[in-house]
Amino acid sequence: MFRRVFLARLLLAALFGALLVPAQAQEKFSEPALSDPDSWTVVLLPDLQGYAKKACNQPIMEIMTSWIAAHAEALNTKLVLCVGDLVEQNDRIGNGFSGDLTSVRQWQGMADAFDVLDGRVPYLVATGNHDYTYTRSGARRTHLNEYFPIGRNPLNAAAICQFGLDSDENPAVENCAFELKAPDGKDYLFLNMEFAPRDTVMKWAQQVAGLEEYADHRIVLMTHAYLDAKDQRLSGPCKVTSYEPLVRNGRIVKIKGLPLPDASNGEELWQKLVRPASNIELVVCGHISGSGFRTDRNSAGKDVHQMLFDAQSMGGGYEGNGGDGWIRILEFMPDGVTVKATTFSPLFAISPTTRQFAWMRDAKNEFTFRFSK
């Protein structure tokens, strides 16, 4: 009942917002569709913590995943990728945090939202900085594998072919590889790496990318923090926020800017893993609000496209609705080299009154890139 009431209010809010948008900003609505019937797609989900942390925002996430499931056949969707930050806090118990839900309810809400994809579409989820609890010494742990275990989605279990280890040295989904044969016959490997990868994870990824059996695969690397909205790879120390077991004046005590030891930034990932590999040709990430894109040549002379997609501030800022329901659709064309990127909101698409705003048409959110032949 609560969610039905909420969705009704949500549509009224969207309607009111649409009335405030100038007429010249409106356009005729069209549903996402393949530009070629032989294409296939990968759908990107941005940082999700804004949906997770508030009870009134979580239903938006359900709208997004339900839309993906309902359109998976029409869009020939082979995989969903989430760039990390599924929750706002990994271990929230009391008050004094951003949002109104405990961590248990945040994790459970996101796990419930993905239920509709289980058995229909495979997916990989990365860990973001918000998905961990950190000690003063920089040790980290996450509840990701409790809510997204390896065997949860049978389609994931069938396609995951390599496992790395988490900080407790257990096989974990935040470090794994997913093998896919595209409809055009090209072999792909989707390599998932934890936030600010530790040295052991970096070495594992180097080994995987260097295996002879993947020499002719096209590797897509997903990690949370890599590129910013100015198209620059992240550099400098990786810093995080740690929460002390102390509440002062009704607010949890935070340690901000805690240096994270044994961690790799975006530039280090490029220099140590991406550039030396001959088969990593696409990197996708989140973490920094906005969209970014750049292309560089690797050591083999191939183009490596690097993409940031994080919509968490687009729905009223950091304390808004979580991101207006934006997703990114990557259409892989049958020529085997061309990819069309579009950015769409299932939330705005719900109502005839708001659906003309369901596309972002600027150059950072609608573009085409090509892999090297």
Look at residue 21 and tell me if it is in a domain.
no
Element (H, E) at 367: strand 367-370
Amino acid letter, 338: T
Q: What is the mean pLDDT of residues 89-93?
A: 85
Report pLDDT for 94. 64
53 inside domain: yes
State the pTM of this model: 0.92
Residue at 237 is within a domain: yes
Do the domain assignments include residue 1? no
CA distance 43 to 68: 8
Determine the Cα–Cα distance for residues 171 and 162; give it in Å rounded to an integer: 9
Strand partners, 293: 307
Residue 81 · residue 123 · CB < 8 Å: yes
DSSP class per residue in 253-302:
EEEEEEE-SS---HHHHIIIIITT-SSEEEEEE-SSSEEEEEEEE-TTS-
**Please, what is the angle between helix 58-71 and helix 2-19, to 10°?**
90
Residue in 259, 264, 252, 262 with CA at minimum distance from that of residue 136: 259
Give me the percent of the chain exceeding a pLDDT of 90. 78
Contact 194, 168 (CB under 8 A): no
- Check: CB of residue 260 under 8 Å from CB of residue 196: yes
Where in the sequence is the domain holding 274, given as residue range(s)?
40-370
Cα dihedral 167/170/174/178 (nearest 10): 150
Domain assignment present for 11: no
Q: What is the CATH number of the domain that holds 90?
A: 3.60.21.10
Number of domains in the chain: 1
Higher-confidence residue: 368 or 253? Answer: 368
Sign of CA dihedral 173, 364, 276, 215: positive
Measured at the CA of 290, the angle between CA 280 and CA 63, to 5 degrees, comes to 95
- The predicted pLDDT at position 51 comes to 97
| Residue of 250 and 167 predicted with greater confidence | 167
**Predicted confidence band of residue 74 (pLDDT cuts 50, 70, 90):** very high
Which pair of tokens denotes residue 207? 């080994």
Q: Is residue 101 part of a domain?
A: yes
Condensed to tens digits (0 to 9), the pLDDT of residues 94-117 reads 666 788 899 999 999 999 999 999
Give the pLDDT confidence of 312-344 residue by residue, as tens digits. 988 888 889 999 999 999 999 999 999 999 999
Q: Which pLDDT score is estimated for 253?
A: 78
Per-residue model confidence (pLDDT) at position 2: 44
**Can you tell me the distance from the alpha carbon of 352 to that of 360, in angstroms, rounded to the nearest whole number?**
17
Indicate the pLDDT class of residue 243, thresholds 50, 70 and 90: confident
Residue 234 inside a domain? The answer is yes
In a domain, 276, yes or no: yes
Partnered with residue 221 across adjacent β-strands are 191, 283
